[in-house]
Amino acid sequence: MVTASAVQAKFAPSAKDNYVKAFQLGQPQLDQAGITTPLRLAHFMAQVLHETGGLTILFESGRYGSNALAKMWDGGNWHKYFSGRDECLSMGEQCKVDGGEALFNRVYANRMGNGPPASGDGWRYRGRGLMQTTGREGYRKAGPAFEADPDLVVDPQHALTPALDEWTRDGLNAAADANDIHVITLRINGGLIGLNERKAWFAKIWPFITGGTPIEHSIEWKVQEALTKAGFSTKGVDGVVGDNTRSAILAFRAARHLPGPPQITNDLLLALNLTTV
C-alpha cells in the first residue's frame, strides 16, 4: 500500500521539515494505530492536510488583523469574549505586537482545560501539530509529556502521537471504513468547518493511493475549470461539487438561458464544450 510519507511527498511538497521527518519515521506508529487500509490512510491524510494547510502550519497563527477579527466576530464565534465588535477588532493592534498571545489567552481561557487569562494557558496550549491539538486538556490526553512541553507536538519524533491518539480515541478507523467524512470531521473539528476542503483533499488522495484516475482527469474537475474560464467562479478547482460549484452552474445556466438543475448533466457539458457523460 502507498505510505503516508508518499502521500505527503505527492500532495504536500512544501511541508515543514518536522512533518516530513515525522512521516518518514512514523510508519510503525501508523501501523499500530490500524491505519493499514487505503480508506483509513486517505481519510487520515485528508484531515491532517486540511488541519495544517498542506503540512505548512506548525502553530496556530494569532497574527489577526482587523479584517480577520471582523470575520471571527461576524461569524458569531467570539461574542462571549468581548463587550462588542469594536473591542474585538481593537485586538488587531495587539496581535501585531505579540503575535496573538493576549488574544489567545482571552478567547481560550476557562475552557478546554485552560485556566483564566492570567494563567497564559490559552497561548501555551494554542493549536499545534498534525491535528492542531488545542487546550491543556487536549495536550494532557496526548500524554503528560505533551502537557509539560507543548512543543513536543511538532517534534518529528513525537508529532504523530497526539494525532493518532485522537484518531484512535475517537474511533475514526471505523468511520473511515464506512467512508463517512462527516463523522470524521465532526469528531476532529467539533463541527463541519472546512468540510468541502477536507473532501477535496480526500478526492485527490484516494485515486493516488488506489491507482485510480487522478482527480484532475475527472469530469467534475473539467466542469469547474470550464465554468471558471467562462467567468463563473467555483471558488477553486478541486474536483468536488459543493455549494460553490452548484451556484456557478446555476449562474451559468441563467446567463445562457439554459434551464436545469445545479448538477452536471449532458446539456451542461455541451454548453461548456465538454464531452458528454
**Same-domain status, 167 and 54:** yes
Neighbours of 13 (CB within 10 A): 10
* Domain tally, the chain: 3
Domain boundary among 210, 233, 249: 210
pLDDT one-digit tens code per residue, 147-180: 999 999 999 999 999 999 999 999 999 999 999 9
Question: What is the predicted pLDDT for the residue at 79?
Answer: 85
133: three-class secondary structure by DSSP: strand
Does a structural domain hold residue 126?
Answer: no
The residue with cell 463587550 is 83
User: Residue 239 — pLDDT band, cuts 50, 70, 90?
Assistant: confident
pLDDT tens string 9-54: 999 999 999 999 999 999 999 999 999 999 999 999 999 999 999 9
Cell of 215: 482527480
Cα–Cα distances in Å, from 155 out to 9, 84, 164, 216, 247? Answer: 19, 39, 14, 34, 43
Instruction: Give the model's confidence band at 277: pLDDT under 50 very low, under 70 low, under 90 confident, else very high.
Output: low
Q: Considering only residues 29 and 239, tell me which one the structure prediction assigns the higher pLDDT.
A: 29
pLDDT tens per residue across span 65-109: 999 999 888 887 788 899 999 999 999 999 999 999 999 999 999
pLDDT tens for each residue of 186-226: 999 888 888 889 999 999 999 999 998 888 888 988 999 99
* Same domain membership, residue 51 and residue 147: yes
Same domain, 151 and 187: yes
Give residue 62's Cα distance to chain centre: 17
Does 226 lie in the same domain as 187? no
**Residue 245, in any domain of the structure:** yes
Asked if residue 223 and residue 90 are part of one domain, the reply reads: no
Considering the domain architecture, whether residues 75 and 204 belong to the same structural domain is answered as no
What is the domain extent for residue 25? 4-58+136-210
- Together in a domain, 70 and 190: no
Residue 131 corresponds to which amino acid?
M
**Rounded alpha-carbon distances, angstroms, from residue 238 to 166, 184, 202, 221:** 27, 20, 10, 6
**How many CA within 13 A on the CB side of residue 244?**
18
Query: 100 and 14 in one domain?
Result: no
Predicted pLDDT at 53: 96
Average pLDDT over residues 229-256: 90
Residue 263 burial (CB < 10 Å; 0-12/13-18/19+)? exposed
Q: Does the pLDDT value for residue 3 go beyond 90?
A: yes
pLDDT for 130 beyond 80: yes
